[in-house]
């Protein structure tokens, strides 16, 4: 969970921690919401399936933060 906190601080995304950080809600610049559970490495883009692929989450966030298409 510490690695997740470091990664999260580097992204600069708006977020809210719940249950002492076991559930984190991220808000992407385009307004979409992501629910993350760092202790189990699960995450879900609201309205889609739950995933454990951390690389996919990282890529999704990077796509949103890049200033170019």
pLDDT tens digits for 10-60?
Answer: 999 999 999 999 999 999 999 999 999 999 999 999 999 999 999 999 999
Global pTM value: 0.86
Q: Which domains does the chain have, with CATH numbers?
A: 2-65 (3.30.457)
Residue 26: other Cβ atoms inside 10 A: 21
Residue 34: other Cβ atoms inside 10 A: 20
DSSP 5-59: HHHHHHHT-EEEEEGGGTEEEEE-TTS-EEEEETTTTEEEETTS--B--HHHHHH
Going by pLDDT thresholds of 50, 70 and 90, the confidence category of residue 66 is confident
Straight-line distance from the first to the last Cα atom of the chain, in angstroms, rounded to the nearest whole number: 31
């Amino acid at each position: 969970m510490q690695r997740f906190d470091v990664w999260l601080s580097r992204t600069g995304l708006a977020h809210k921690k719940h249950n002492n950080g076991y559930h984190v809600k991220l808000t992407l610049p385009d307004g979409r919401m992501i629910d993350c559970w760092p202790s189990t490495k699960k995450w879900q883009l609201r309205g889609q399936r739950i995933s454990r692929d951390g690389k996919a989450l990282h890529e999704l966030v990077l796509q949103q933060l890049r200033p170019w298409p």
